[in-house]
Chains A and B, each alone.
Chain A
């Protein structure tokens, strides 16, 4: 009985924000008379928030190391602008343009990482400067104008869908097949993990609970793909997001690098004396953020089908909010990539739901602010218990 209680209470902590997300979804589903979860709108939510999720993943790593990056919105805008020049004005091949832009993001990250890691300037200052520098450079590159339209190949990055290789119909069969495939892979992974746990004599959850978990996750995956299948299927950007989430979750949870990043954020002195190359690690986390900011800028430009001087405005705040709602702590050392995604989705669903209800941008801002504060207060309360 105590075991059950422990299980519930520890999981409420772990999945607090997931539960909150589910609550918010249900709330808006009711308030919008069911519009929120229509196939069209679900697809919209994903596409509207994709660039914030990309930023939130990078921001999570930055905050785990105990730093902050205020420049990501400006960097995204700057990279978008450069993409406009490369692809529209100079007519470079799309793939070359994209690679150059990601490289540019890496260089920008290296520039900021250099000042933070090797010059010991607080990241707040370095990236505040970066926010101004790259916003300014965006205007320089665009000469104050908007560059449009982008070539089709580029736009598909953020606005196209996987084609249905089984031939069209009301329902995208291919999407459903992918859902089933994913479920099978997932179940196989879980069973393998459980076998190894049993082999090493670790504590495992009871069999019924294990099966219940498998059924639940499988259900979620398939309902989700089924909903998407009723519209246009799986957007390319969802594939990018999925790969990023899986990749970064693996990096942070299962690799030496990930463990070093957590250690560095938890106690930089102890980490250094344990052989973690703290400066180098911090530097690379900033490089990583630069690349993800560039990717975010590209997705946004593609979605807008234009490079504009105002792009990426306040993105940094959305990304930081997402990371914090998702469980990051400004003292460093805590947070998960999955949490950042949930945090971004909480903000995204709030935005979308309130827009559907016709609530003005003024009230939306205020409510989002309150939710951010409330989420952190809830977390603090929970930890003090």
Chain B
């Protein structure tokens, strides 16, 4: 049984100025699920790129031994030929093509260049069955959900006669239910003898499904554990990942909650922007007090982001009805500027698409939402801008060489800090944070939590949307559950736990 399928020995890889990998060793047994874990920038993805041939032989030092033969991959095709398939974090499917076309893209079932569609469809059907998808092979990718797309990616890997499946953050975009499905599927494959490497930030799920865990930090292998043998706990892994003991995942907070309700949403109903018959949100009632952190828990598709964006200057939806109250007075936000002027800020869910101007500098991103602060008669005072940006950078500890660094070059955690900093610069009373820690590592999460706590201590009101229940339970004073566009519960910290929240989040309304 315990036969080694893959061994990477003494892998070192240097990029100009950075040693990304420093003598890394990885040993994966036949038929196991091997987890690879580490902070962002620890070298996980680079290691997998070396393995799959994205970084070709000769650009790194060390040996790769797969099924007892030494491999020198020049490109990704060579590694795929041996059955090493990698599924990247950002899905590589083409939305306008069908499931079948996507699965056999680059590997068409063809003779003399002419595609045999019947064969393609039949094989796709078999593959979809294996991953538990009941979908028409001719359905277009754009019409299916993210969770289903992830499964199509896996089906695509299966079509390549995969022996070693590498999944890079497969569940980061999935809700709990879809994640569960995916992990079960991996366990199913394991029974059939397939080996997988799983890269993830979610310690719980790793501990649940994997057999061994290798921890990387700063480009070095810290330790490889056997999950059962070593009686592994989250605390041990976290300690290895960050190189320090995190007494608590959530930082201390000095509570400063006042009775005054700062922001209130009443009877808020929103319809879909294109299909205006379809109601997305039904009679939402929420409020937040000064200095309070309020959570919104909901599954993907429950309407969390839609709620936040429709409030924030009607950035989402049509036929919006209902009332907003700021400090007891009714307000209307016709556009984003109105919301900002009234002291409301929204830190969006997807920082790369909705948060940052990636090609622009840290400074320009930080000041963008409140340029008037550094301008007089619409003319920028560039010196003042630099001073303000520098002080923000220090205050929230953005790790970048200078404020003129482009944000595209920052790590996920630091990018998130820039987005948060941008909204802190507007000096808001209410901050709506949509998935503020998605896809960032434990250390950076801690820093973001600390910032959020500080903001609450200063008397800001926080509305925090998250799909990670432990995060909500750890941070919030009160949590609303959202299900199918309706608020189904308003729980105090003392009465909330994962089970009750999950129950309310999955409560169904029939129609």
Contacts and interface: CB of A to CB of B under 8 A. Distances in A.
Contacts of B232: none
B358 A267 contact: yes
B313 to A, nearest CB: 8
Nearest to A258: B380
A263 B368 contact: yes
B378 A270 contact: no
Contact of A275 (B369, B375, B387): B369
Interface in A188-227: 196-197, 199-200, 202
B383 interface: yes
A254 B359 contact: no
A200 B403 CA distance: 15
A266 B357 contact: yes
Contacts of B364: 259, 262-263
B371 A259 contact: yes
Contacts of B315: 272-273
A333 B359 contact: yes
B348 interface: yes
Contacts of B375: 255-256
A263 B353 CA distance: 13
A255 B357 contact: no
B335 to A, nearest CB: 7
**Interface magnitude class on chain A:** 20 to 34
Contacts of A272: 315, 336
A284 to B, nearest CB: 13
B386 interface: yes
Contact of B360 (A200, A255, A333): A333
B354 interface: yes
A234 B511 CA distance: 76
A258 to B, nearest CB: 8
Interface in B318-368: 335-337, 340, 346, 348, 353-360, 364, 368
A257 interface: yes
Given A202-B383, A256-B380, A275-B369, A269 B336 contact: no
B336 A256 contact: no
Interface string B372-402: 1001001110110011000000000000000
B386 A270 contact: no
Contact of A269 (B354, B383, B387): B354
B156 interface: no
B422 interface: yes
B343 to A, nearest CB: 13
A334 interface: yes
B263 interface: no
B89 to A, nearest CB: 20
A145 interface: no
Given A267-B356, A274-B336, A255 B422 contact: no
A202 B386 contact: yes
Given A254-B382, A263-B364, A275 B353 contact: no
Contacts of B372: 256
A248 to B, nearest CB: 14
A260 B313 CA distance: 18
B73 interface: no
B268 interface: no
Nearest to B356: A270
Lowest 9 A-B CB distances belong to which pairs?
Answer: A266-B357, A274-B369, A275-B336, A256-B371, A256-B378, A275-B337, A267-B357, A274-B368, A269-B354
21 contacts: A200-B383, A200-B387, A254-B379, A254-B380, A255-B379, A256-B371, A259-B371, A259-B380, A262-B364, A266-B358, A266-B359, A267-B353, A267-B358, A269-B354, A270-B356, A271-B357, A273-B346, A274-B422, A275-B337, A277-B337, A333-B360
Interface of A: 196-197, 199-200, 202, 254-257, 259-260, 262-263, 266-267, 269-277, 333-334
